[in-house]
Amino acid sequence: MKKLVTGILIMVVAMTTMSAQAQEEKVLTFDQLPQTAQQFIKQHYNVKSVSHVIMEDEFFSSKEYKVALADGTELEFDSKGQWTEVDPEKGTVPNAIIPGNIRSYISKSFPNNKVEQISRSSRKYEVELTSGLDLEFDRKGKFLRIDD
């Protein structure tokens, strides 16, 4: 029994070490981003303002791309190049990035606020307003709740 427990502990430690080493970060050029991410940046930002691009490749998940712009804005993209987060260091998220129904809800319910950060997953959008409020919307942009 003692040998079994010891064996299990050794396997757990080995797997933990292996997965920690399996994460790889790689510096890329703008042209190495997925085409969808390149188009997004070209449409909403100045390509010349791209400071650096990092690809994270984790053992048990897909690739993720992180792009930093000269003004401090951070953009994140999934393995297919779809944006997952837009976080300007200064200023606000461009309106064209915010889905129309979310933009409408914010302008009606919080008229003196702008979007400071937006992120999305397969299930929801999370939006941070200039007032500090965090709002959650479902995948279709329907308001769910305030998360302050």
> Over the stretch 88-108, which tens digit does the pLDDT of each residue have?
998 999 999 999 999 999 999
pLDDT for the residue numbered 7: 46
Q: How far is CA 99 from CA 81, 93, 137, in A?
A: 18, 12, 11
Which residue ranges in the chain fall short of pLDDT 70? 1-23, 59-60, 148
pLDDT for the residue numbered 3: 55
Hey, what CATH topology would domain 23-88 get? Answer: Inhibitor of vertebrate lysozyme, Ivy (3.40.1420)
Contacts of 36 (CB under 8 A, 6+ apart): 77, 80, 81, 82
Per-domain residue ranges for the chain? Answer: 23-88, 91-148
pLDDT for the residue numbered 19: 47
| pLDDT tens column, 45-61 | 999 999 999 999 876 67
CATH number attached to the domain at 91-148: 3.40.1420.30
- Decide whether 23-88 matches 91-148 in CATH topology: yes
